[in-house]
Structure 1
Amino acid sequence: MQLCEAFEPPQPLLDCQQAPLTYPVDALGELLGPAVERLAEVIGVPCAMAAQSVLASAALVSQGHANVQLDGRTYPLSLYLLTVASSGDRKSAVDHLALKAARDWERQQWTLYVEKLKANRAATSIMAKPKTLKKHAEADGCELSEPVPPRLIITEPTIEALIKSLCHGLPSMGLFNDEGGQFLGSSTMSKENLLKAITTLSTLWDGSPIDRARSMAGESLRAYDRRLSLHLMLQPYLANQLLKDPVIKGQGILGRCLISWPERLVGRRLYKAVDLTRDAKVQRYQTRITALLDKPLSLHKDGSLNPARLELTPSARTTWIDIHDTIECQSGEFGELAGVQSVAGKAAANVLRIAGVLAVIEDANVCWR
């Protein structure tokens, strides 16, 4: 008997997944935690899925207001999240409600933007008329600079369009898509553009300046302190392709992401006659999201963000250093985290980012002390 006949063929590792750990909803605080529980309970999704969408929304509205500062190092509050769920797992339903306040705010801002744009163009037309009318227009205080497009959430941009939006539009945005295949299957993530897209997303997570030097006039860009959060919801076969791609793995983008692959609840999701838009816990969460969006961002003269500084208390500092050092010690060649070094290397930074987001969300005064 040959050796190959004595053993079963090797099985894919993903077929032997362990049961997911219980998501620590209580750690999300008194505002996000209850909202996550209600969304999960009524819609019929795992708490992990609801938490990903809620945390992404919270990061979106917090990242422009504050950074975490520790020993001279700056940690932006931007978060990158990937959620894996099959078709029919209600990922769109939960993401729609988690982002409702942000999308409602964006729609209102677009209405105001269109009105301001019309007024601006009317003023420009008047300024081009004879001198008497020009003086009249100046007396009325007409502005010639065009209003900023209030694009808050973008779903499947090209990298160039994303960069231009951050430079010429709002300096804080979210790349969110509950059908992540649209983004992964777009020209942005094609073989020719993949490396550029991944490295750009990585530098935006880091908070590095945007630097685009082009030969064509008007195409060069340089901008500081822009913020981007990302949340893509993927079906399992797309997630498998993403996790196995050598370019994506090699560039370290996955290490920056908080990845959740919760268990399926199909067959256990009995209908609940509850209107979540009127639920007190969900309303409290959405009210806070809207309040942070309504709060004007602190900006430098060049339009870059001027976030407040969040500093750790002595006990929080000690706890975080212990977390950092424990992860580092387990990331060595024979450590428990040796096989996931790229994720482990960014885990402590993600702890600070999440803590900063929760601080901004929970404390109504933290951003403007």
Structure 2
Amino acid sequence: MQITTSKNLILNPVINNLPGPLKAVVVSLHTITQAPLDMCLSSALTVLGIAVQGNNKIQTIMGEKILSLFFMTMADSGERKSAVDTLAMKGVLKYELELRNLYEKEFEIYKISKEQWSERRKILAKTKGISTEQIIEEIGPEPKPPVIPSIIHSDFTTDGLYSSFDSGCTSCGLVCDETAMIFGSGSMSASNRSRTTAFLCKVWDGKTLTKTRHEKFRSISDVKLSIHFMMQPAIAEKYLSDNLLKKQGFMSRYLITYPESNIGNRLIEFSDERKAELEKSHHIIEEFSNKIYNLLKNSSKSEVQIIIPSDQFNVLAAKFSNKNELEMKEGGKLSQIKEFTSKSYEHLYRLYGVLKASFSDANVSEDELITSSLSLIMFYTQNMFEFEVRNNVITLENKALKLLNYMEINGIEMIYPSKISQNIRGIENVAEAKRIGNYLVECGKFEFYNETDNKNKKVIGYRLVPNGDLTIKSA
């Protein structure tokens, strides 16, 4: 593949460090759609994850790990999320269509076989002295229906995904360019959110899925699912600030991007140069689609391959992990995202494994694979850190507004931290109450109020600033 670049395109370091063939694809997606590069990157990596996860695992010091990747992109409406996914997914959809056509033929054969089997069973069942075991021995087990080819899902429930896995399609993708459909649905309602997130966490971990219904026990192992959730920032802020998701480790399993908008810079140009650029980009995407199609087709035929990383990669991965471990200590740079950082070592191995399995035939050197993998995990770690900082500010603002509203409704002018934690839902303890109170002091809404209690102990509270504005300007 040859790389194409737009004259207005400034490549960032993480894109520059990608293996040549993947870099060409990401830039081509951007050139055609003019969508943010980071979004194009996550879409391309999602497709690669879907293509190679079925028949590849990677060896780590903690054992063999699957290669499934979970991505999340926050982008406003109009950023051309659908356009990027439509192009990136062409090879997957081509393979899925082929499987569906084959399924229809196989299902007709299955129906005939099932009818013949049922008829023979009825005849034998009328024979005196013959047992059920003898009937089965004579005619064989009941024919099984062919696997329903559901590789790509755009919406889901845990029961629906479980049924899809149970039918035999155990390697698939969940790709949604409007994730409000999922996060606003019953799957992520208050009553189901814990169950849904636990299910997805278990799938990412590669654990066996079990279900017991009506005294029947079912288990499914070796399940692989790659995800790309695209959502508007407002949806992300509403749902992803939920402490439950954080405590369950939901966000720690995602590689997130919050790309800078490209709206306002997507000018249409009619020129020979632009025409040639687009033709080259479409050719690269077509080659990528064929590659994905072939990877998927081969994965259905071959045994699972265990990728053994080079010693060079293992050494650098260990250095990366050790550095992060030290920075997760209280007050360290990564202490705010310690849940994600704890899994960054495995994220790194999965990214390396996906790249190695995808481009083993493309003359990509080991140095390129290592540089790209490390660059990617550092990029996504920085994104998670920035998201967490932003999310903490938003959560702080929301709780501060709840406190101000509570005081206004109840006609309260002064309040102590202990009363804040007792009366405001979502403020869990006195320490958090003090953090919110101090934040409102910084915003100019509160001033400190000191008095001595009946035990002659100094007590610090907060008092509304006289004639102050109760609104908070967003950070």
Fold agreement, TM-score > 0.5: yes
Match of 1:77 in 2: 67
Match of 1:326 in 2: 323
Choose which of 281, 284, 289 in structure 1 pairs with 2:284.
281
Choose which of 102, 106, 109 in structure 2 pairs with 1:116.
106
Match of 1:150 in 2: 149
Matches of 1:125 and 1:204, distance apart in 2: 37
Aligned CA-pair RMSD: 2.6
Q: Within 5 Å, which residues of 2 pair with 1:256-267?
A: 256-267=253-264
Query: Based on CA coordinates, which of the two structures has the bigger radius of gyration?
Result: 2
Choose which of 290, 308, 311 in structure 1 pairs with 2:305.
308
User: Match for 1:56: what amino acid?
Assistant: T
User: Match for 1:107: what amino acid?
Assistant: L
Match of 1:170 in 2: 169
User: Match for 2:165: what amino acid?
Assistant: L
Choose which of 224, 228, 239 in structure 1 pairs with 2:225.
228
Whether 2:237 is the aligned partner of 1:240: answer yes
Whether 2:293 is the aligned partner of 1:293: answer no
- Taking a change above 3 Å as real, the CA distance of residues 277 and 184 of structure 1, as seen in their structure-2 partners, is farther
Deviations 1:76-123 (A, max 9, x none): 111110001101110110011111110121122111101110121022
Unaligned runs of at least 5 residues, structure 1: 1-20, 135-140, 300-305
Could you tell me whether the CA contact under 8 Å between 2:77 and 2:232 is conserved in 1?
A: yes
Match of 1:33 in 2: 23
Matches of 1:340 and 1:292, distance apart in 2: 35
Match of 1:189 in 2: 188
Matches of 2:76 and 2:309, distance apart in 1: 39
Quote the offset at 1:245 in angstroms. 1.1
Find the residue that maps to 2:77 and give its secondary structure.
coil
Could you tell me whether the CA contact under 8 Å between 1:277 and 1:283 is conserved in 2?
A: no
Could you tell me whether the CA contact under 8 Å between 1:30 and 1:362 is conserved in 2?
A: no
Could you tell me whether the CA contact under 8 Å between 1:61 and 1:293 is conserved in 2?
A: yes
Quote the offset at 1:340 in angstroms. 1.1
* TM, length-normalised to structure 2: 0.66
Matches of 1:112 and 1:298, distance apart in 2: 15
Match of 1:137 in 2: none
Match of 1:17 in 2: none
Deviations 1:43-66 (A, max 9, x none): 101110101111001001111111
Quote the offset at 1:278 in angstroms. 7.2
Whether 2:363 is the aligned partner of 1:342: answer no
Choose which of 65, 68, 74 in structure 1 pairs with 2:58.
68
Unaligned runs of at least 5 residues, structure 2: 1-10, 125-139, 269-273, 364-475
Deviations 1:163-192 (A, max 9, x none): 121122311111111111111112111111
Matches of 1:261 and 1:365, distance apart in 2: 30
Could you tell me whether the CA contact under 8 Å between 2:75 and 2:259 is conserved in 1?
A: yes
Whether 2:266 is the aligned partner of 1:269: answer yes
Could you tell me whether the CA contact under 8 Å between 2:56 and 2:66 is conserved in 1?
A: yes
Deviations 1:207-255 (A, max 9, x none): 11111122x155x321211111111000010011132111112211101
Which 10-residue stretch deviates more, 86-95 or 270-279? Answer: 270-279
Matches of 1:159 and 1:277, distance apart in 2: 41
Give the number of the structure with larger relative contact order, counting CA–CA contacts within 8 Å between residues 6 or more apart.
1
- Taking a change above 3 Å as real, the CA distance of residues 23 and 91 of structure 1, as seen in their structure-2 partners, is farther
Matches of 1:172 and 1:94, distance apart in 2: 22
User: Match for 1:333: what amino acid?
Assistant: E
Quote the offset at 1:127 in angstroms. 3.6
- Taking a change above 3 Å as real, the CA distance of residues 76 and 365 of structure 1, as seen in their structure-2 partners, is farther
Matches of 2:180 and 2:153, distance apart in 1: 14
- Taking a change above 3 Å as real, the CA distance of residues 298 and 108 of structure 1, as seen in their structure-2 partners, is closer
Find the residue that maps to 1:228 and give its secondary structure.
strand
Q: Within 5 Å, which residues of 2 pair with 1:84-123?
A: 84-123=74-113
Q: Within 5 Å, which residues of 2 pair with 1:344-363?
A: 344-363=341-360
Could you tell me whether the CA contact under 8 Å between 2:31 and 2:278 is conserved in 1?
A: no
Match of 2:443 in 1: none
Greater than 3 Å deviation, 4+ residue runs? 126-131, 272-278, 296-299
Could you tell me whether the CA contact under 8 Å between 1:84 and 1:262 is conserved in 2?
A: yes
Quote the offset at 1:296 in angstroms. 4.0
Match of 1:211 in 2: 210
Matches of 1:247 and 1:37, distance apart in 2: 37
User: Match for 2:292: what amino acid?
Assistant: I
Quote the offset at 1:275 in angstroms. 5.6
User: Match for 1:184: what amino acid?
Assistant: F
Matches of 2:206 and 2:120, distance apart in 1: 48
Q: Identity of aligned pairs, percent?
A: 27
* TM, length-normalised to structure 1: 0.84
Find the residue that maps to 2:17 and give its secondary structure.
helix
Matches of 1:284 and 1:244, distance apart in 2: 40
